[in-house]
Structure 1
């Protein structure tokens, strides 16, 4: 099956309960039923971030494959990078069902999954089994368990465990579905977490992959600068802007809009892009790479994030709606927009709207 045929079947999948459909999609990917993108990347899309070469700047956000069961097949769909996770130290089943809601009228998703995943040991084993060289850059997104968690112990231990198998490590302190997790974005707690991570990283004898921190789009204006300063002070290489939102930007048409959880998809785009611009202005010229995430569903959306200060972009909800054929389409559209405006490469357009 080709990615195009897999995407044609997406309307049938959307008729199934969202979580059941997601599980079926992962199973189909595992068995190679989504095919692979055989098209070559346009050379204009090649870029470098964190000192790592990316074939293109379009990535899959964490949350799609929390337990790394289908990372290899996902990498073959044409993404420049794929982020597995969030993974927690111990397996956990997540929140009670139903916990995933498809807001079809808004092309959006609300989830309160609660980071259901198979735990660190299974996660690392699956990533370690991926054949090399990998067709895309691999990110590992780490988080803490809902119960019996110690952030200052758990994040460093998670980093040390995934460091040998990941190209970069994303620290999730912004999911709205784990009680107390977003409190770790507070200045003092975040500095303590990042200091513990830096100490562990410095002591590793093997690989020390770049660290990026994933933040919420709902941070108050006065809370953004301390996050940026803490990241820079402790050697963090980047920020992902942003996670899902607990806000409900108007207008939302779906009757499911009142469900509790994090909202993703087009209604998040403006909010996350404004946050991205704010972070980009604060971090400009300070060696902090930004990844734009939230509402990306087209080449134009990706281009907007790049112009707002992101060096890379991630998508999630649009991929869940449209399937594998979306990835090559975004790449084609993005390449055309870069050429239309006279850019020679992705890096040339990063942050042009905030200069």
Structure 2
């Protein structure tokens, strides 16, 4: 039995990572082990719905879609990767009121279940907070990325947050500002650089999602600011002006400055060396988001402190005499 949709209907909110995918491909990846013929059967019978409406296999998902997935049976029994939760996620809360819940997501935890993962952030929080009648992810972070993650406690708040993300401008213009810390290989030369490289999404032969810089890709824009340098390392702050899948990781890799510990786009021999030196994860952390509150309109600055393991690694780096904090 596939853990997702095992005994009851699942309602999934489409985030930036799934936006634009055909719904049949989305389900094939989500429900691994479910026969292909069964997935197309539940689509034909109208058991899968988007925003309460029947859709066919060619429907392309839109950011914010609510997809209904019925209970399904896998073709074979498969082990399910149950992610250990070392501490309650509610203890990671940065901000909460009657419309929003904002947490500092740990690295190594997916934002939602599926593809062999029984429980992600959203499922765990629903278990911890059964009194919340509505709780949905407003956006996503990669499994390996830690930091600020917004969830909506009201549908009206979810709609407003999605509108802000689509707006793409600064908070003052109705958009949302998101900032990340990334430790990269090499000597970054500029104090501030605008990077505008089109990104193309594709699936590998194994069915894994990947992104590359390609002329026919989606427009994307990241602003990188230099924060600190060490011998062979640079700490950057990345400001997202668009929210494409793996945007920061691919932009930096393409420019020749891979993120430390990136297991998809990084320098793999270097990553092994970093593991021996104590860095066991990717050094990418969503440290700040600035938004307009979806109910009150006030400006909120949401900050997630750098995790202890990343702080420890920075302290371990030998700092040359001329290194400066910018």
**TM-score grouping bracket, smaller chain normalisation:** under 0.3
Where is the helix percentage greater, Structure 1 or Structure 2?
1
Where is the strand percentage greater, Structure 1 or Structure 2?
2
TM-score (norm 2): 0.28
TM-score (norm 1): 0.26
Bigger radius of gyration, 1 or 2? 2
The structure with higher relative contact order (CA 8 Å, sep 6+) is 1
